Every structure is written in C-alpha cells, then in structure tokens.
C-alpha cells in the first residue's frame, strides 16, 4: 500500500460531481488515478426530494461508481473513508485499509448538512443529504397518514397532517411541491379514512442576509399560494416548539 507507484498517481477523494468530473478529465493522461469514496454510490442529490415523496426509489438516483469507472481504464476505485492527509509525505490514510501515496491530490468531499446553528433540530427533523434521509422522510410522511387514519380527534388528525419544511430555497420548495402532489394525487385512494389532500405544508423561509424584504415577501407569497402556507411563517422559537411537538 505504501510502495511508490510506477506511474504518477493522482488520488481523488470523493466520487460526487466534482470527483467524477476530475476522473473523466484525467482519463486520457498517462497516470494512474485512484478514486476514494466511502460508498460505491455516486448519488444524484438533486433528486433526493423525489425519493422522499415516493416518486422515485433510492436505486434510481444512485449509480454504482464502478460502472462509471468502467469507461476509464486508468482509474480504479478504493472504497473507504479518508481520515487523514499528510501533505508533506504525500499520502492519505484510509481507515483500516492503511495509507496510500500520491503525487497529486484532489479533494472533492462535498459539503455536510448544516442545521444553521440549530443542532437541537436534528433529534426531531430529517435532513436531505444522504440516501438514507429521504427513506426516513418518506417513512415519516406515510406513517403520519397511517396514524391519522386511526385517530378520531379532528385536531389530532390536523396535527398529524401538518408538515413543516425549514428552508425555502430551491430544495425546500421542490420538496414541499412534491409532498403536496403526494398528498393530493398519489395517496387519497389509499388512505380513505382521512383526506390526505387536506394536509398543510408550511415552508419556513430563512431570512437570508442580503435578501431584500420585497423579494422575501414575494417568495412568501408564492409559497403561500403553492402550498397553502397561510399567514406568517413561524419564527425560530415557534418553530422550535412545533418541531418538538412532532
Ligand atoms: C437535496 C439536494 C438538492 C440539490 N439540488 C441541486 C440542484 O438542483 N442544482 C444544483 O446545481 N445543485 C444541487 N445540489 C447541490 C449539488 O448536489 C452539490 O453541489 C454537488 O453534489 C456537489 O458535488 P461534490 O462533488 O462537491 O460533492 P458530493 O456530490 O457531495 O460528493 C462528495 C463525495 O465525497 C464522499 N466523501 C466525503 N468525505 C469523504 C471521506 N472522508 N472519505 C471518502 N469519501 C468521502 C461522499 O461520500 C460523496 O460521495 C443539491 C444538493 C442537495 C443535497
């Protein structure tokens, strides 16, 4: 593992968009490329929301990295988690696998999910970053329908059918739209004891620094129109209460 490679060796950490594009760009060079990723999936994160809304399954948006690399003979995959880099000695350490020497290194590890300073939400809410996240989200959505069907108390049914999305960017809005479609078109026939189409979906918009009030008001208006998020969106402390009540 530690022996010096015969040809120049380029190590690429991360097989997301960045890492995969790098491997493609290096395909014709007389070098060896080692792509290190912690799983064998190249995840198309853009469609995670459709998996959450039961429109797609996880396998539809996860491509095996080995099949991508099949077109690039100078590249191979090393499955593992990089937990250290020695830039002086030029090697990376990959957990129990050991160390791997490199001539050049590309780091394309992506980003981690951020709760925007509200880490306490993690205990109650699901993010949308890994392949597991939309599966959990879908389970909770459909679980809420199932629970609501068995309840007699109208307020309790209303509570179970209220979904709150935090973050009104592209992703939050797409997800809210997909949940809205799920409740209105896909599930009414399956949950006849309730009216899933009456579910309320509230998109909470973060006040983005630099976003002027007019634009914010416009986004709020569009969200309200699309997703029946009536009235003002909850503020941060109301949101904490709502999330804890879930
Ligand atoms: C829900 C969602 C929706 C999005 N929608 C859009 C959109 O509509 N349009 C758009 O342009 N962008 C969108 N994005 C952003 C886009 O997906 C990212 O910008 C893009 O995936 C970043 O690519 P990347 O290669 O930098 O990182 P990633 O695609 O995250 O890939 C990083 C890879 O590195 C691996 N890795 C990380 N650390 C290690 C380690 N220590 N050892 C080994 N492997 C490691 C990870 O497992 C992963 O495979 C969306 C993102 C999300 C989460």
Taking the domains of the chain in order of start, what are their residue ranges?
Answer: 9-107, 119-245
Which of 12, 15, 16 to mutate for ligand 1's pocket (most ligand atoms within 8 Å of CB)?
A: 16
The domain defined by 9-107 folds into: FAD/NAD(P)-binding domain (3.50.50)
| Number of alpha carbons in the 13 Å side-chain half-sphere of residue 180 | 18
Higher-pLDDT residue of 183 and 138 is 138
- Give the closest residue to 100 by CA, choosing from 227, 197, 11: 11
Give DSSP secondary structure letters for 124-172.
Answer: T---SSSSHHHHHHHHHHHHHHHHHHT---HHHHHHHTEEEEE--SHHH
Strand-pairing partners, residue 43, are: 62
pLDDT score for 236: 54
* Region of poorest pLDDT, from 17-21, 47-51, 67-71, 240-244: 240-244
Catalytic annotation, pick one of 81, 174, 197, 198:
174
What's the mean per-residue pLDDT of the chain? 82
- For ligand 1, what atom is nearest to the CA of residue 18? 25
Q: Where are the alpha helices (DSSP H) in the chain?
A: 17-25, 48-52, 65-69, 132-149, 154-160, 170-181, 213-227, 236-245
The structure tokens listed for 67 are: 């099949």
What percentage of the chain exceeds 90 in pLDDT?
43
- Give the closest residue to 90 by CA, choosing from 164, 9, 209: 9
pLDDT score for 26: 97
**Within 10 A of 92 (CB to CB), how many other CB atoms are there?**
22
Higher-pLDDT residue of 4 and 211 is 4
User: 38-51 burial string, b = 16+ CB within 10 Å, else e?
Assistant: eeebbbebebbbbb
- 172 touches ligand 1 (CB under 6 Å): no
> Which tens digit of pLDDT belongs to each residue from 48-97?
999 988 889 999 999 999 999 999 999 999 999 999 999 999 999 999 89
Active-site annotation holds for 181: no
> Which tens digit of pLDDT belongs to each residue from 212-239?
455 555 555 555 555 544 334 445 555 5
Question: From ligand 1's centre to the CA of 84, what distance in Å?
Answer: 20
pLDDT score for 110: 96
Tell if the pTM clears 0.85, that is, is over it.
no
Residue with tokens 């002027």: 212
């Amino acid at each position: 593992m530690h022996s010096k490679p015969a040809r120049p060796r380029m190590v690429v950490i991360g097989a997301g968009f960045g890492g995969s594009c790098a491997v493609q760009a290096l395909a014709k060079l007389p070098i060896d490329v080692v792509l290190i990723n912690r799983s064998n999936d190249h995840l198309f994160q853009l469609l995670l929301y459709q998996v959450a809304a039961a429109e797609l399954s996880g396998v539809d948006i996860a491509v095996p990295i080995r099949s991508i690399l099949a077109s690039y003979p100078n590249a191979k995959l090393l499955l593992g988690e990089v937990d250290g880099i020695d830039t002086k000695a030029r090697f990376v350490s990959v957990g129990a696998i050991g160390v791997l020497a490199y001539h050049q290194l590309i780091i394309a590890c992506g980003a981690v999910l951020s709760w925007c300073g509200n880490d306490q939400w993690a205990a109650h809410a699901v993010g949308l970053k890994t392949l597991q996240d939309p599966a959990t989200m879908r389970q909770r959505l459909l679980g809420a329908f199932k629970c609501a069907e068995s309840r007699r108390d109208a307020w309790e049914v209303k509570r179970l059918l209220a979904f709150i999305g935090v973050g009104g960017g592209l992703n939050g809005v797409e997800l809210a739209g997909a949940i809205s479609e799920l409740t209105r078109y896909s599930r009414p026939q399956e949950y006849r004891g309730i009216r899933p189409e009456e579910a309320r979906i509230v998109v909470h918009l973060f006040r983005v620094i630099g976003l002027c009030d007019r634009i914010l008001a416009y986004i709020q208006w569009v969200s309200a129109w699309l997703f029946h998020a009536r009235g003002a969106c909850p503020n941060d402390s109301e949101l904490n209460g709502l999330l804890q009540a879930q």
